[in-house]
Amino acid sequence: MTKHQKTALWAAALLGICISAAVYFLTDPGQHETLQWAQELRAEDIVSAELAVMPQAAEKQYRAFSAEEIPAVAALLNTSRGRHVSQPEALAGGAVTLYVTTADGVRHTVSNEGNAYLYIDGDAYKPGYSWLAAWPYTEGNQPLPEGFFDDPPEPEAAGTGVMAGDRFYTKKWSIRVLGGWEKLGYFGWEPSTDVGSFFGVGRYRDLDGTIASWKAIGETVEELDGYYRCVRVQADQDDHVESYLYPVPDSGDYYEVYFCWRNKARRESDAAQIALEQKQLKLMAESFQMTDEVNSLTVLPLTGYEAYDALLARIADARAFDERDTDAFSYELLGGSYQTVGWTLRDLDGDGTPELLCGGDWGDGYTPIFNLYKLENGEAVQLLYGWARNRYWLCPDGTIANIGSSGASETIYSYYRYADGKLKLLESVKYFWTEEDVSPWYYSDTSDEFWTEQPDGSWGRNPAFHRISERKAEQIQKKYEDSVTLDYAPFEGERGEL
């Protein structure tokens, strides 16, 4: 062998060693944690499994797996294989990706990249074309959810609610919403499986009072790590309800994340899906977080009176973020499909300072009042609180009329005059049917309380009311049947979808 031949032989051997080393370092044969996780994953550890296929027709880009389908997802991942690749080749093809959320709250991603690589939580493997090509999941059964690939927004950008990934964000709070849960109404969701489940988020007043009232009726309230949990309706009843209460910092308020199953028979017939949703709901409820903006309030100069402006800001804020501040104002002001709500100023007693009226427009010129406020020592003081079945209206002569009904057999009509900072009763007519051939109508000009406590401690008819004829009752009502159409200005701020 010549000198040149020996040199060439050594060069070839060295090249082979370099190639082998390169292959070794680029495809590490050692067992990696991500691959081991996939191989050992159990179906019962999965809380949610989703599929995203890109590119694909819009209606076939996404799928949320049901309880019956999750074992097959786990079985596929258990067969994961391949040599780890530290520097995978960049591919321009499509990907089929499984998003698997486990009971510890971690959302894992397992992706088939162009039948060339298997990616598990960012680690790349080479399992071979035949294994990847045999994947059973190549298309979804619905469009990709809005915001599925989006990054979390800043609180101000979130406004009254956007989805980003598997989390729903508002300016004040956020919560995970796992695959298969569809938004309904405002801050509420239900599963596409239609097994009667539901969960929602709302803000309420008086956390201590709520807990005390639940305990007083025998409910068990658990104090956990920064929140409370209560099963308010037992599972053997028709509805199973659980509540998670999160105290709002520097406030007596709280957020309630609540969920329920509305139908016992359906719960029993879909036991596997309900068991999965129980795990999902627990994970979602425990994921609730508040932002630094949770107590923020934007006060706009709308009325020329600071106290009224602050109250209107609270109403607008509650409407935007579904905060059930129903002590400060009527829940009717939070909106509804049958009315347009708003506010107006009107000097009811002619003293030069207007009162604040909040109510709804029911159409045909009828604008009931639900709340009335006056200014007193710089504060907005509530004078009346109404709702759809206990509403007020303003008559042309300045009388404030009220109709309150608790059913077909009992209705009261009361009429007031506002003067000297008070609502003064003019007269009250009560309809209370008890028996045939006896007038069900009663009258009083001194009280609007038909039922009062009797000397023996029981409740009975107030002696201030005496029986009148139906004709007399109709004559009184007719005096106040006309109403002033109030021009309500809409509450400022975003309302979102209803």
Is the pLDDT assigned to residue 240 strictly greater than 90?
no
Evaluate the CA torsion angle 277, 283, 285, 289 in order and state its sign: negative
Let me know: does 101 contact 47? Beta carbons within 8 Å.
yes
Is the pLDDT assigned to residue 141 strictly greater than 90?
yes
Provide the pLDDT for residue 177.
95
Per-residue pLDDT of 11-50, as tens digits, reads 444 445 444 444 444 445 556 899 999 999 999 999 999 9
Residue that is written with structure tokens 């068991």 in the block: 275
Per-residue pLDDT of 100-136, as tens digits, reads 999 999 999 999 999 999 999 999 999 999 999 999 9
Determine whether 31 is exposed, middle or buried from the number of CB atoms within 10 Å of its CB (0-12, 13-18, 19+). exposed
Rg over CA atoms, the chain? 33
- Helix, strand, coil shares of the chain, percent, nearest 5, are 25, 35, 40
Query: What is the percent of the chain with per-residue pLDDT over 70, rounded to a whole number?
Result: 88
Strand 117-120 and strand 107-113: the pairing is antiparallel
Let me know: does 348 contact 496? Beta carbons within 8 Å.
no
The three-state secondary structure class of 266 is: helix
Neighbours of 424 (CB within 10 A): 10
Determine whether 398 is exposed, middle or buried from the number of CB atoms within 10 Å of its CB (0-12, 13-18, 19+). middle
Per-residue pLDDT of 271-288, as tens digits, reads 888 888 889 999 999 999
Average of per-residue pLDDT values in the chain: 88
The three-state secondary structure class of 459 is: strand
Provide the pLDDT for residue 26.
43
Question: How far is Cα 279 from Cα 288, in angstroms, rounded to an integer?
Answer: 15
Provide the pLDDT for residue 320.
81
Crossing angle for the helix pair 33-40 and 70-78, nearest 10 degrees? 140
- 97, 116, 120, 400 from 85: Cα distances, Å: 18, 11, 12, 79
Lowest mean pLDDT segment, chosen from 7-11, 174-178, 229-233, 419-423: 7-11
The closest of 475, 470, 466 to 437, measured between CA atoms, is: 470
Range 464-489 average pLDDT: 96
The three-state secondary structure class of 367 is: coil
Token couple for 410: 């009992």
Torsion of CA 121, 122, 126, 130, to 10 degrees: 60
Range 458-465 average pLDDT: 93
DSSP state of 217: T
